[in-house]
Amino acid sequence: MKSLFLKNRIFLFLLLLAIGFAFSFGWNVLFPIFKVLLYVLIALVLVDVLVLFFRKQEIVVTRKLNDTLSLGDENKVELTISSSYTIPLDVEVIDELPYQLQRRDSSFRFSLNPEGKRTLYYTIKPTERGLYSFGNVNVYVSSVLGLVERRYVVDVNQEIGVYPSVLQMRKHEFQVFTKSSQNQGVKKMRRLGNTNEFEQIKDYVKGDNYRHINWKATSRRNKLMVNQYQDEKSQQVYYVIDKSRSMKMPFDGLTLLDQAINSALVMSNIALKKGDKAGLITFSDKIGAQVKASRNATHLKKVMEVLYNQKTDFLEANYELLYQSIKRTVRGRSLLIMYLNFESFYSLTIAMPILRRLNKSYLVVVVFFENTEISKASEIESETVSDIYLQTFAQKFNNDKKRMVQELRKYGIQSILTKPEELSVNTINKYLELKSRGMI
């Protein structure tokens, strides 16, 4: 679609005023000099129109995005604008973004050389999963005269799904499986147990466990040799995600459910790379999605598709129903990483009987969230009575969270109390710790 605009509104006003004056009082009334200026202005407008419209020249726009967008991450968008005009242009580009982003700032102004090309980059940060529709790209071009503006409406409509964060998944995979992991907050845990599988015999180096010295190989090679072990593989790891009302709480633009979903995808990828099987269970007042633990080549994609469709239910969690479902679905000793959200000690007491029963058959890790806003409130300086009440309430809330950790530990249940932004790193560290201790 192409449109014509008179770009300079002041000029447009003067031109219309002059024409109106001429029609009202007669053309001969106008001063000769004013007539000449008016003729010149009209001629310039016609020249600008001819230059912009009456030659076979076009503006071509392409938009490049990833096949899928990552939830809660900065996703790069690339716009390329190409001109076949043989004159320099002033250009304004407005991209029509999906309504979910609620952005009105995707406008760019720049100059374009004759037959030039310009590539623009900007980022978007989706905060909810689903299908995002990108609309047209509107391009406004004008010549050096700047009297007339031509609009191109370029049809580059496309729909792209926003999935759990693939970028976070790749980042944490890189951190876990490279030597830089300790600098990135992921701890390489020291192996403590002896329940690992034999891998190979190697030369002894300082720090190796002397109890693993292979004396027969040492006598043959006349130097110290030790047995090297690797973590046991093909263990079942299930990620249990609460979708009830308490997980609707927002943090940094994402709900706690979305934070848990991103973490579950990260952890599924890590577990599969470690040779374990990853499974998934979601629940609220009823059981949601169930994915049996597996490690085949397409399993991660299946987990991602299931996570993509999960929504928060505004009802209370049914832990008894969850217990029954897990007993039917999960066979044998398995690790259950449970993403829950306890906002009070009372809410933990409701779930505790079920968590204790599950912990008898499985290795249970309860992941729940620290409320960072309340933590900040507990550290403010009290200047008024209202501030004192707020600080007292915040400190009590934080103490309740610490009591929850102690209560879970009392019954032998592993727990992670974490800030939402540190969720994935802390969960990875716990998983690596349990692997190193031979508990799974």
Q: Provide, rounded to the nearest whole percent, the portion of the chain with pLDDT above 90.
A: 49
DSSP state of 421: G
What pLDDT score was predicted for residue 158? 93
CA–CA gap between residue 274 and residue 269 (Å, rounded): 9
What pLDDT score was predicted for residue 196? 54
Asked if residues 286 and 324 have their Cβ atoms less than 8 Å apart, the reply is: no
> How is 346-386 classified by DSSP, letter by letter?
HHHHHHHHHHHHHHHHSEEEEEEE--HHHHHHTTSPP-SHH
Asked if residues 112 and 88 have their Cβ atoms less than 8 Å apart, the reply is: yes
pLDDT > 60? residue 193: no
pLDDT digits (tens, 9 = 90+) for 197-244: 556 778 888 777 777 888 888 888 888 888 776 555 678 999 999 999
Question: Token digits for 321?
Answer: 């129903």
Q: Interhelix angle for 256-273 vs 299-308, to 10°?
A: 180
Which architecture, in CATH terms, is 1-163?
Answer: Sandwich (2.60)
| Domain span(s) for CATH 3.40.50.410 in the chain | 166-186+232-436
Asked if residues 355 and 407 have their Cβ atoms less than 8 Å apart, the reply is: no
Q: Per mean pLDDT, which range of 57-61, 78-82, 192-196, 416-420 is the poorest? A: 192-196
Region class of 253: left (phi > 0), else alpha (psi between -120 and 50), else beta: left
Question: Token digits for 374?
Answer: 């309340």
pLDDT > 90? residue 48: no
Q: At 225, which helix (H) or strand (E)?
A: strand 225-230
Q: How confident is the model at residue 9 (pLDDT cuts 50, 70, 90)?
A: low
Asked if residues 352 and 403 have their Cβ atoms less than 8 Å apart, the reply is: no
Return the biggest CA–CA distance within the chain: 120
Question: Token digits for 131?
Answer: 């299908």
CA–CA gap between residue 235 and residue 335 (Å, rounded): 8
Strand partners, 163: 70
| Domain span(s) for CATH 2.60.40.10 in the chain | 1-163
pLDDT digits (tens, 9 = 90+) for 311-357: 887 788 999 999 999 999 998 889 999 999 998 899 999 999 999 99
pLDDT digits (tens, 9 = 90+) for 368-421: 998 877 777 777 777 787 777 777 777 888 888 899 999 999 999 999 999 988
Amino acid (1-letter code) at residue 159:
E
Which architecture, in CATH terms, is 166-186+232-436?
Answer: 3-Layer(aba) Sandwich (3.40)
- Of the candidates 428, 422, 66, the one whose C-alpha atom is nearest the C-alpha of residue 265 is 428
- Of the candidates 388, 439, 395, the one whose C-alpha atom is nearest the C-alpha of residue 413 is 439
pLDDT digits (tens, 9 = 90+) for 111-146: 999 999 999 999 999 999 999 999 999 999 988 888
